[in-house]
Structure 1
Amino acid sequence: MTGVRAARRLPKSAGGAGEGAAASPVEVLALAQTDWLYHHLRVAGDPAEVAAFRQAAAGAGIIPWQHSLGRAEEDWFHLLVAPPPPLQRSLSLEGARILAGQLRVAAEERLRLVAERSGESRACPLDLHRLLPVPEAVLRLGPEHPEARAWLWSHWGTTEALRHVVELPVPKRGQPPRRDPGLLWLGFWSADWTPWAAIRQLRKRWPGLRLAVQPRYDDP
């Protein structure tokens, strides 16, 4: 498994160093079943700059998609009227249509709440949407739209928000772990790839900082 993952760190679209030009929309590299890869990111430099980066990077850790769920409503309706075996239909056509509509309303309300709260939360210490925001026009397309996935691949290098982002304690020999003001050390999971496109942009925007990212294949 390690060999497969190591090969996927350096897609052809990313160049020999893993950080080259982003792929075109038809070259989005994402597995049918997402493989979440664990990483460490160390951001080091002047304590004031590290503190500024820390503040800029903290957010909700989500992508506040705003798309309509009209197509999803149709999919739910067809699933309700023709459930897969061994399930049997228990609703009339009218009942299935009503329930599918209710599911759509509930899901769109949840998306609205997520979008509202995403601007308030700072629970995630590395929020790519805060640092490299997804444009409103792309958010309206939804996460499965080819153009939305192409944007994420081109600008972030991964097609989903980072997950389980945590700040790691800095070990000090003979002392309990502590926070080093000149170092922000993070652990996170990334979908399918190391987010080289995002790291490349962040290095350009924060030239005074040293950003070192490393996949950790042996870390549980």
Structure 2
Amino acid sequence: MPQTTAEIIADVDATVARLEAYRLELEARPVAHGYLEPGPSDDDELGGGFRLPTRPALTRHTPRPPASGTAFSIAGSELLEPKTPLSRPLFNPQPDWLAHVLTVTGSEAVLAQFRAAAAGTGRLSWGPDVTNREDLSRIFPVGDSRTAALIGQIVQTQTVLLAQETGSSSVPFDLNALCPMPLDLLSLGPASPMTQTWLWEHWGTSRPLRQVEVMDGHPKKITNHWSFSFWSADWTPWPALRAIATQWPDLTFSIRPLYDV
């Protein structure tokens, strides 16, 4: 049976803890080899006995933390005016997907509001806004009654589909639900340099999050913590997380990248 992200994280943490305990055990054992026999010095007398071998100093390694990653607190900041990026946006055709665990802490009431606001479809609906009659009128320039009826039907059908898609809330944490991309950029498509620049500046990752899974604790335990795991493309979505922390000042956010997964 394939493992979930939470199970993989738990296995990695357990393996790292066992290896660290074994390393400390080996370090505490007496050294059986590695003694150095010093050569005679000018002060030694011939036939004057022998010297005990000396034990070389052992190099001590920095202890590794018991978990495969360090949690970082996320502080909100004032929204700044957009600036010209100093480097090109990171957009790889085949990105590296990095695992993370995000923990949100706060009162149960505010946390419930945040969970409702964070749920979404988990994807970006690329293409023009076909619920806008003005945009469709530019696509279908003929202004007769049949064209107007067709535009009305398209708008009605797409509005219903979008409502169903939004209500489905297929993922518990959707960056586009909390930090939405403007509709005019969605109409340009994912290959546009403008959309790639916006994603890099406002999300810090080039694609929506994948495999967003809630890490449930005891089902009967009431808690003010909400933890979930996700995978992001190439980098941790720092800009989006800082913007979200600013929008929700009553909550505390902590992100834990898992580079060993």
TM over 0.5: yes
Residue of structure 1 aligned with 2:89, choices 28, 35, 48: 28
CA distance in 1, matches of 2:254, 2:177: 20
Aligned residues: 152
TM-score scaled by length of structure 1: 0.62
Closer/same/farther in 2, CA of residues 180 and 39 from structure 1, 3 Å limit: farther
Match of 1:213 in 2: 255
Deviation at 1:119, TM superposition (A): 2.0
CA distance in 2, matches of 1:22, 1:197: 13
Alignment of 1:66 onto 2:108: no
Residue of structure 2 aligned with 1:44, choices 98, 101, 105: 105
For structure 2, the 5+ residue unaligned runs are 1-79, 130-157
Alignment of 1:55 onto 2:116: yes
- CA RMSD in angstroms comes to 2.6
3-state SS of paired residue (2:167): coil
Give matches, 1:68-107, under 5 Å. Answer: none
For structure 1, the 5+ residue unaligned runs are 1-19, 69-111, 171-175
Q: Is the 8 A contact 1:153 1:159 kept in 2?
A: yes
CA distance in 2, matches of 1:115, 1:195: 26
TM-score scaled by length of structure 2: 0.53
Match of 2:135 in 1: none
Match of 1:138 in 2: 185
Deviation at 1:178, TM superposition (A): 5.6
CA distance in 2, matches of 1:203, 1:143: 26
Find runs of 4+ consecutive structure 1 residues off by over 4 angstroms.
20-23, 112-117, 176-180
Match of 1:193 in 2: 235
Q: Is the 8 A contact 2:91 2:196 kept in 1?
A: no
Closer/same/farther in 2, CA of residues 58 and 50 from structure 1, 3 Å limit: same
Deviation at 1:180, TM superposition (A): 4.2
Match of 1:147 in 2: 194
| Farther off after superposition, 149-158 or 114-123 | 114-123
CA distance in 1, matches of 2:190, 2:220: 38
Deviations 1:96-139, CA, capped at 9 Å, x for gaps: xxxxxxxxxxxxxxxx7985653222120111111111111000
Closer/same/farther in 2, CA of residues 52 and 30 from structure 1, 3 Å limit: same
Match of 1:119 in 2: 166
Deviation at 1:33, TM superposition (A): 2.0
